[in-house]
Structure 1
Amino acid sequence: MIRTIVWGENIHEHLNETVGRIYPDGMHTTIAEALRRDEAIAASTATLQEPEHGLPAHRLDETDVLIWWGHRDHGAVSDEVVEQIARRVYEGMGLIVLHSGHFCKPFKRLMGTPCALRWREAGERERIWTVNPGHPIASGIPDNFVLENEEMYGEFFSVPEPLETVFISWFAGGEVFRSGLTWRRGAGNIFYFRPGHETYPTFHDATVQKVIRNAVHWACNPQPAPIQCHEAPNVPVDSAPEPISERGPKLHQAGEAGYR
């Protein structure tokens, strides 16, 4: 089973009547229920309001894929939790970031860039084109599909050059956007998927749900965490693979930790 957590900020559902009507149990619950239709995925949820945002280290250690949706209060997410998420991604946990999560702390931490973009909230038609049909995330997805109402995101999207581009969106107002992108950080696979504005029923859309299920399978890395993923050991001279003798001055004594 792919152990998956769907993280939701869980604010708009309680403050906005439209969002609450579309997602009465929260967007995170809707996404998790869609994932559970796949017998290979064990989906649970976590929210901003829980202790440690529902993501204590021991729970992250048992997680294969983390899905993230946030918007209104990115700054409320604890930096300690962000570092724990980054640690687990380096060790092999997959991360899927949805829609306005492009500004969330974990994504920006792992991208190392502003992750900024153009936007417009006008309920525009979005046509999503599959530009990498051979990719596992695109399995069973048509060459294009339409969301009748969505928030526009437009280029330039200030993220690092992706490993792969799976989807590109076109909006009724004319803008385009790289809407399905992948990266790898350490042993962890990362996927950003653009759709998901909260005032529209995007996460009820069957094709959007299938993309997210596909992404969970793709993002899961079944290999064990890399040895010494976080360590920077000072290797003793007598442990070198080939015999050597020390030469010249040095800063550190044998076995002394380096500067970090």
Structure 2
Amino acid sequence: MSTPIRVTVWGEFRHEKKNPKVAEIYPDGMHNTIAGFLGKDADITVRTATLDEPEHGLGGSVLDETDVMVWWGHMAHKEVSDEIVAKVKTRVLEGMGLIVLHSGHYSKIFKSLMGTTCSLKWRESTDKERLWNMMPSHPIMKGIGDYFEIPQEEMYGEPFGIPAPDELLMVSWFTGGEVFRSAATWYRGYGRVFYFRPGHETYPTYHQDEVQTIITNAVRWAMSGVRIPDVCPNSPALEPLPEDPEAASRSKIGHK
């Protein structure tokens, strides 16, 4: 690819500051771990942004210079500015890709784009997660086998309050017996949205090869290559139009 995909990895960066267990797993923050493996791809350039930066790190020209955004949030969804959410949503509708990870299912931006509750069941315990590949031919699933396992993860269970996905890529099974639609895509405006379930902060999920592969593949898939603002233009005809008899008649009456 001649022009690199410009990725912004957005994260709360709160758990890492407050929970020593999380800080041990992600000493530089989850956002930097994700940016780190994405940045190893020669076709991707990465920047990061976090909640406590001015305008959550998304002010100025950041959104204009982002082709794909990766979003991780959890404990501070309500602290995200509605104004910033509206700007991110506008960019998605114009063609920016959005990858929403784990507890980002309850973020303002994901709920706004889905138009539903996005609620679910959960349990933080010792569950193993087995993720089944439902669409091996999909570009996001490139390099992933029939399934892979995460030794310990937070459980998410159905019902998941999302609209029917345009593409359902993976379904998870947990040791406790629950299942979950764990990887799915939607098209919103000119943008592409991917939700990927794994990634609870107290587990080293983002260090796992399969998880890194899927997120990297998703960045490539989510790159639409277009930006089409909503201007609702009046459009001239491409071909000559036949004369409207009623319009011609009205014109003659008006000239008497």
* Common fold: TM-score over 0.5: yes
- Offset of residue 58 of structure 1: 1.8
- The residue that corresponds to 2:87 in the other structure is 84
CA contact (8 A) 1:121 1:151 kept: yes
SS in 2 for 1:149: coil
Tell me, yes or no, if structure 1 residue 231 matches structure 2 residue 231: yes
Distance 1:207 1:66 in 2: 20
- The residue that corresponds to 1:17 in the other structure is 20
**After TM superposition, where is structure 1 displaced by more than 4 Å over at least 4 residues in a row?**
243-247
Listed one character per residue, the Cα deviations across residues 21-74 of structure 1 (whole Å, up to 9, x for unaligned) are 100100000000010111111111100011110112521111110000000010
Distance 2:48 2:148 in 1: 28
Distance 2:197 2:14 in 1: 20
CA contact (8 A) 1:13 1:23 kept: yes
- Offset of residue 232 of structure 1: 3.2
- Offset of residue 246 of structure 1: 6.1
Distance 1:113 1:73 in 2: 19
The one-letter code of the counterpart of 2:124 is E
Distance 2:37 2:152 in 1: 20
Tell me, yes or no, if structure 1 residue 36 matches structure 2 residue 8: no
Counting aligned pairs with the same residue, the percent is: 56
SS in 1 for 2:40: coil
Tell me, yes or no, if structure 1 residue 207 matches structure 2 residue 210: yes
Structural mapping, 1:72-221, within 5 Å: 72-221=75-224
Distance 2:34 2:76 in 1: 20
CA contact (8 A) 1:70 1:104 kept: yes
- Offset of residue 186 of structure 1: 0.7
Listed one character per residue, the Cα deviations across residues 208-255 of structure 1 (whole Å, up to 9, x for unaligned) are 001000000000011x322xx42234x49xx566354669xxxxxxxx
- The residue that corresponds to 2:63 in the other structure is 60
**Aligned Cα root-mean-square deviation (Å):** 1.5
Listed one character per residue, the Cα deviations across residues 132-181 of structure 1 (whole Å, up to 9, x for unaligned) are 00000000011111101100000111111111011110000000000000
- The residue that corresponds to 1:255 in the other structure is none
TM-score (norm 1): 0.89
SS in 2 for 1:215: helix
Listed one character per residue, the Cα deviations across residues 54-101 of structure 1 (whole Å, up to 9, x for unaligned) are 112521111110000000010110111101101100111000000000
The one-letter code of the counterpart of 2:227 is A
Distance 1:44 1:225 in 2: 20
The one-letter code of the counterpart of 1:204 is H
CA contact (8 A) 1:57 1:84 kept: no
Q: How many residues matched?
A: 241
Distance 1:246 1:135 in 2: 52
SS in 2 for 1:106: helix
Q: Which runs of 5+ in 2 are unaligned?
A: 249-256
Distance 2:8 2:126 in 1: 29
Distance 2:107 2:147 in 1: 28
Distance 1:171 1:61 in 2: 40
Q: Which runs of 5+ in 1 are unaligned?
A: 248-260
- The residue that corresponds to 1:257 in the other structure is none
Distance 1:203 1:152 in 2: 16
